[in-house]
Amino acid sequence: MFFGIFALILVGLSWTAVGVVMGLAPKKNTDPGLIQLCGALVSITASLVIINCMPDKILALSEICWVFAAYASSGFLNSIMLVLMSRAMQRGPNGIIWTIIQSAMIFPFLMGIVIFGVEPKLIRFSGLLLILVSLAVFGIFKDNTVKDKKWKMLTFIAFAMTGVILSLAALPSYFAAGRNISPILRTMFTASGVFSGSLLVILVSQREINIISNLKSRYLWIFVAVLQGFGLIFAYLFLYPGLDALAANGIGSASHPLLIGSCVAGFFIYSAFILREKICWQQYIGIFCCILGIVFICC
């Protein structure tokens, strides 16, 4: 169990790299959808190479099919959700939109308790509430200029999709059959979904993207290298083993609050000490609530 907690906190901190890249990409005229597409190709290729070098493991076709469906659907929907979130943020209050969408972690938390019998400890609910308070504080004190009323519907759809995405990603770890499948294979399943979703997004919006120019840009490949350098290692060694460990020990519902809370803390540190953004006292209260919430979730 302690390995699972440590692993997911580490993965959540590593997700700070995603925020950094997605923040820098528009400034370097690099399309986030192409970053996802190329990154997924790298992930699929690397996973295939590693799997072919490993000893064969006999798996039932039924196990592979439903686990593939869960992870690929999660990756596919995530690619589309990111586009909706981006469009919502172009129209409405970025901080509030980000908070609402991240709050969808309550879906896998409740799924673990209601469906899979995770013990509903009061202290864990308190931890979840503290992380939600932290998200709300960071959301309120970001740029919340309203530009277009359409942001509400886009945000609601992205919120609902994120709940489904997180629940699908957590689902296989609750079953022995799912935990029996290699993290490398599961990473490839997710990347397959991301590739399909990103390709669909690019095909639909290709008039808005200069694909050739993007592919020639060194920044595209730097961003892909950074994300996959972190992503593959952490997925193989920590993400899926961590999800499995918590689910097997009866606290699978804590997985995504741990991931989100750690990511929030990591990005706060990056913003404060690397970007040197001005931090108000309310945000210090927010990070305190976040860290305390992580501690409570682990109890």
Cβ contacts of 182 within 8 Å, gap of 6 or more: 51, 54, 57
Integer Cα distance of 255 and 51 in angstroms = 26
Integer Cα distance of 247 and 236 in angstroms = 17
Q: Which residue has the tokens 């590693």?
A: 50
Query: Mean pLDDT for each consecutive 10-residue tract of the chain (299 residues)?
Result: 89 83 80 89 94 74 87 94 82 76 88 87 89 84 65 89 93 89 93 94 75 85 90 92 91 88 84 76 85 84
User: Residue 142: what pLDDT?
Assistant: 67
Q: Supply the pTM of this predicted model.
A: 0.88
Whether 277 and 271 have beta carbons less than 8 Å apart is answered as: yes
Residues in the chain: 299
